Structure 1
Amino acid sequence: MKLTVLPFGGLGNRMRVIDSAFLVSEQNDISPVNLIWLRKWELNAPFYSIFQPFPKMLNLVDGAVYYFFLYLVKHIYVQKFEKLYRFIFRLYYDLVLLDNDIKDKQPEEIYGLTKGKKRILIASCYGFQNSSNFKSFLPSDNVKKGLDRLNLPESYIGVHIRRTDHSAIIKESGLEEFVEACHEEIVENKEVKFFLATDDRIVKSTFQNQFGERLITQETELSRDSEEGIIGAYVDILALSGAEKIICNLKSSFAETAIKIGTIKEVIEI
């Protein structure tokens, strides 16, 4: 049996798709998992600049197959022309799992579909429900250095505010609501510190003015289309994952990933 995974979207999305693929590989005793890691504007960084080599067998796809997917397969096209892409993919794979095959599905439902298949393709931005813990993802040396530079305290509250690329979150969760939630935490604990992860400089400036020395945040530009920006994004995820509470909107896969890493933490949803 051969398993290939093509994760779409940003870092959080891709991590949960890859983690789900490893669950399929374990259920079916498949090794290695073949990963098509596309460097596009939404995530323009080499896989091993972000992560260390996996403890599980992983093969990065290259050559003609990689360039076929790079130039001819785009997530928005797969969503819009799903039947066409499903037909094309089925010429090479006897089971194709796209967004609509995975979204809102429990892992057991997916495992049932994969039994007895010889060539499986998972091409999605969704992971299986309630399955990911991301234990296989170990940060690269550059990511660890970035995390060390933050000098995070033993106890702090994480705040994730996504602003540049998710209209639903922007509409639902106003900046003033995040600020108010932080002030409520200060009332409970006068010594509280905050770690802020955001993709917006105005948000960062607002929080720095509001909370001063209570606030810890990166100065790295978190641009998705640069290697430095993606490394910074993973630093943010890991920093959020170490918080005792996370203030966020759960529609962000970025926040969802941080919540699932490490120990159980309280979530304050805005």
Structure 2
Amino acid sequence: MINSAMKLAKRRKEKLVILWYLNPELNAAFEDLFQPILEPDITLINIHSLKDPRKLYYQLSAGQRFGDDDIRNNKTDDRLNDDFYRALKKRVYIFTCERFDPTKDYSLFVPTDTLQKRVDTFTRDFAPRCVGVHIRRTDNAVSMGKSTTEQFIAEMEKELTAHPETRFFLATDDQSEEELLRSRFPGKIISNQSRTIDRNSVAGMHDALLDLYCLAASDKIIGSYWSSFTDTAADMHGIEKIIAGE
């Protein structure tokens, strides 16, 4: 979403203000995860409440506001339709979780030095070939219904048949899934076994970002249906992605 906003601001030759909302779903400041943004036309503000006066100022002083429904109803292939774009006023306030102007530019998101060292530790074991596996469970019923464990196993077996040297980096929020795959593919699974699965903590966000960047460093991704985590990991470096169950 931030990438979309950055591209939109550049297209309109305007400055971008990012309100980074810390809440139980992502309770870590931007600087806890990434290097500070140095671009002069981009300002990032960490907020802890939707009633933060700075947030209310930008929202109430905007010439136009739009959100999820407006974007879904006015985009084609993840891009705002031209008529909607041309009708935008000055000082637009956007509150959304939707992509609306895709770009391959992820330059804003450079992990902290500490986090990058952790990523490097795992990716050193990726040679000669590593396939990322992202299994989304717990809070995504749509994904669980479509991308079953059996379908992930079938895709992994296909990879090993074609490339016996393959290892798998596993990112999952379900410990039982990891235990099953480790028993099914002994010596083939790489993962952060000490992960913290708690989105309401900096440690949990560090481990989630570690998984994301390790997936993005793999040669291919076997991902979960209806998961932006899968999509973003593949998109970051333009690697091949297949969705289990499709």
TM-score exceeds 0.5: yes
Q: CA deviation at 1:103?
A: 2.6
Q: 2:213 aligns with which of 228, 233, 238?
A: 238
SS state of the match for residue 165, structure 1?
Answer: coil
AA in 2 matched with 1:204: E
Q: Take 2:201 and 2:166, find their aligned partners in 1: how far apart are those partners?
A: 33
Q: Take 1:233 and 1:161, find their aligned partners in 2: how far apart are those partners?
A: 13
Q: CA deviation at 1:217?
A: 0.5
Residue 195 to residue 138, structure 1, CA distance change in 2 (3 Å):
same
Q: 2:30 aligns with which of 41, 47, 52?
A: 47
Query: Do structure 1's residue 101 and structure 2's residue 70 form an aligned pair?
Result: yes
Structure with the largest fraction of helix: 1
1:149-196 Cα distance to aligned partner (Å, 9 max, x none): 213323211100000111111111111111121112111121111011
Q: Take 2:52 and 2:36, find their aligned partners in 1: how far apart are those partners?
A: 26
Query: Do structure 1's residue 192 and structure 2's residue 161 form an aligned pair?
Result: no
Do 1:250 and 1:256's aligned partners in 2 also have CA atoms closer than 8 Å?
no
Between 1:191-200 and 1:132-141, the stretch displaced more is 132-141
SS state of the match for residue 20, structure 2?
Answer: coil
SS state of the match for residue 207, structure 1?
Answer: helix
Query: Do structure 1's residue 149 and structure 2's residue 102 form an aligned pair?
Result: no
AA in 1 matched with 2:110: L
Q: 2:11 aligns with which of 27, 31, 54?
A: 27
Q: TM-score, normalization: structure 1? A: 0.78
Aligned to 2:39: 56
SS state of the match for residue 43, structure 2?
Answer: strand
Do 2:19 and 2:45's aligned partners in 1 also have CA atoms closer than 8 Å?
yes
Do 2:66 and 2:93's aligned partners in 1 also have CA atoms closer than 8 Å?
yes
Unaligned runs of 5+ in 1: 1-16, 73-87
Query: Do structure 1's residue 248 and structure 2's residue 223 form an aligned pair?
Result: yes
Unaligned runs of 5+ in 2: none
Between 1:252-261 and 1:47-56, the stretch displaced more is 47-56
Q: Take 2:244 and 2:105, find their aligned partners in 1: how far apart are those partners?
A: 20
Q: CA deviation at 1:225?
A: 0.9
Do 2:137 and 2:172's aligned partners in 1 also have CA atoms closer than 8 Å?
yes
Q: CA deviation at 1:27?
A: 1.0
Residue 182 to residue 67, structure 1, CA distance change in 2 (3 Å):
closer
Q: CA deviation at 1:67?
A: 5.5
Q: 2:100 aligns with which of 128, 141, 156?
A: 128
Residue 168 to residue 71, structure 1, CA distance change in 2 (3 Å):
farther
Between 1:131-140 and 1:157-166, the stretch displaced more is 131-140
Q: CA deviation at 1:267?
A: 2.5
Aligned residues: 234
AA in 1 matched with 2:158: E
Q: Take 1:56 and 1:89, find their aligned partners in 2: how far apart are those partners?
A: 20
Q: Take 2:171 and 2:48, find their aligned partners in 1: how far apart are those partners?
A: 33
1:71-129 Cα distance to aligned partner (Å, 9 max, x none): 79xxxxxxxxxxxxxxx987432111200122371245353233xx2321110001125
Q: TM-score, normalization: structure 2? A: 0.85
